[in-house]
Structure 1
Amino acid sequence: MVEKLARLTADQRSNFVAYLDGELSEQETQQIERLLSQNEVARHDMESLATVWEVLDTLPRTKAPEDFAQKTIATLKMDEQQTPLSDQAWFRKAQEVGSRVLGWCLVIACGFVGFALMRSFPPSTTEALIENYPVLEQFDSYQEIGSVEFLKKLQSSPEWLKHNQENGEAIR
């Protein structure tokens, strides 16, 4: 004997709808009827479900458009046939633009690296001559001086300091 307040299984509850719709086999129908006669919870659930069914029957019926099924199936097929991301036009365009931007970035980076490398090498003879042109222009005068010690003495002499202050030249 089944308990009067025993809980129902999910399978038993799911069969209630099929029972009300008359979709169960003879054996399944007898099992539900036996359960209803022995279990108060089952009877209460069945009565509630039957009431809901009656209320649903009183609601106005809406009719789906004639092409509803066709549109739904077509939509499902379109979802199944989505093109891969790599085949979509916007993705191909983004790849093209991205590769061009990357290419230009590499060209610019190579230019900076080349410039930095060339600046790190010793200057050529021509560059050294151009850089030292002011000294070379006065080369004959510098040869007459003779030694660096003379220049150091000259720089520390009061006459030289006075001359630089009058002319506004910086002492080096």
Structure 2
Amino acid sequence: MRENLVAYLDGELDEAATQKIEQTLAENSDVRGEVESLARTFEMLDELPRPEVSEEFTERTLSTIQVSGHSAADSDEPQRRRVDNRLLIAGWVVGLALSVVLGVSIGGRFSRDDSTRLVEEFPVVKDLDIYTEIGSIEYLQKLETDGVLNDNQQTQKP
């Protein structure tokens, strides 16, 4: 509220804000007292002598303002670089993810199932179900001594 009162005394408010302050002044004696106090303070400040400043002081002040203005502009640069770097990293991550997905899908089409490879390369694995039903080696030896296995081999050869 105090900032608005100072702006009111300086004539910096728009018409709507000025009317609102004037209405508050008409209704509230505390606010009127505050405005009167501020007005007296400004009048007393006007009574004080104005300091004389050298040209050098003015130049230093202006150069300091210019340097601080450049600093504010320069501070935007790292922010822009951070955003650019984040976009670059995000692009690389997306590219790598797509490469992995593409590689797995293409590689999966050309690779065969391991069990299929075992069946094709190892005849024992092909007939594993038959061998597990036999149960023991003694049973196989008995079949061989009885000549059952030799007969099967001879009938399969022609």
User: Common fold, TM-score beyond 0.5?
Assistant: no
- Flag the structure with more relative contact order, 1 or 2, with Cα contacts below 8 A and sequence separation at least 6: 1
Structure (1/2) with the larger helix percentage: 2
TM-score (norm 1): 0.36
